[in-house]
Amino acid sequence: GALLADLRQAVARRELLLHYQPRVAAADGGIRSAEALVRWQHPGRGLVPPGVFIPLAEESDLIESIGSWVLDEACRQLALWRRQGRVLDRLSVNVSPRQLQSGRLVETVEAALLRHGVPWRQLELEVTESLLVGDARQASAQLAELRQRGVLIALDDFGTGYSSLATLRDLPIDVMKVDRAFVRDLGSDASAQAITRAILTLAQSLGKHSVAEGIEGEAQAAALRQLGCDELQGYLFGRPMPAAEFEQRLPQIS
């Protein structure tokens, strides 16, 4: 369709941009990291959300070029903030199953990091559970290699996929993200609270860092702090926002 034809031109026409959503340390409320979320500034339609164009890109071959642009832009921005003395431990970037299936993720990530002189440790990649079940050896091997070089791997939307506890033990991951569906119902649904507690206990037992997403209210934040979650992300702390706005919130050393 017309939208797909436009999307083919979007990278070359510089219509994509990244927004950044802060994540704060549960312990002291300071911003530690951010999730980069892609946006498309369409010349006629305005801002097109990724929920609309990422699925289109995944159905075509476009997800690879868009994914490469996202990684490059994230590293460019990280390097810029570093030069400006703005402190951010790491930046998290979403990766689609198709990007891993291509078999070229390691080289794409390496190229972006080297081009901008960003340390491997500053990049986190978010993957979904569905990517890692079934015949996922090729995907797992690439994630393991990236991880060995220092990239952090986060399991997104944890609890909504199908990975068994047995596979979880063997997955090459560092971070578990509690899905926002559980967070949303924390105050109203005893089972959501029980599941969140179980996920966070599991994360601690396995030595994984934990992040909860979709936090909109103080009561949810308090509950997650009490359950031992490491980092909090949600509208309560900030919506995804342009770089110029996000950087105002970063501590600056000179």
Region 200-219 residues binding ligand G, contact defined as CB under 6 A: 213-216
How crowded is residue 205: how many other Cβ atoms within 10 Å of its Cβ? 8
233 binds Na ion (CB under 5 A): no
Residue listed under structure tokens 């507690």:
197
Q: Is residue 230 at the binding interface for Na ion, with CB under 5 A as the rule?
A: no
- How far from the centroid of its chain's Cα atoms is residue 32's Cα? 13
Q: Which positions from 158 to 177 touch Na ion by CB under 5 A, shown as an x/- string? A: --------------------
- Residues 247 and 99: their CA atoms lie apart, in Å, by 29
Give the single-character DSSP code of 15: -
- Identify which of residues 172 and 234 has a Cβ nearer to Mn ion in the complex: 234
Q: Is 129 in the site for Na ion (CB under 5 A)?
A: no
Asked if residues 19 and 240 have their Cβ atoms less than 8 Å apart, the reply is yes
Q: d(Cα 154, Cα 139) in Å, to the nearest integer?
A: 14
Question: Which tokens hold the place of 135?
Answer: 């015949």
CA-CA distances (angstroms) from residue 102 to 58, 108, 152, 216?
Answer: 12, 11, 20, 36
Listed ranges 65-73, 75-83, 85-93, 153-161: which one lies at the site for Mn ion (CB under 5 A): 153-161
Rounded to a whole number of angstroms, the minimum distance from the CB of residue 185 to ligand G is: 12
156 lies in the site for Na ion, by CB under 5 A: yes
Q: Using an 8 Å Cβ cutoff, are 69 and 11 in contact?
A: yes
- In the bound complex, what is the minimum distance in angstroms from residue 254's beta carbon to ligand G? 31
129 binds Mn ion (CB under 5 A): no
Footprint on this chain of Na ion (rule: CB under 5 A): 94, 126, 156
Per CB under 6 A, residues contacting ligand G are 21, 37-38, 49-51, 54, 70, 94, 96, 156-157, 180, 213-216, 234-235, 240
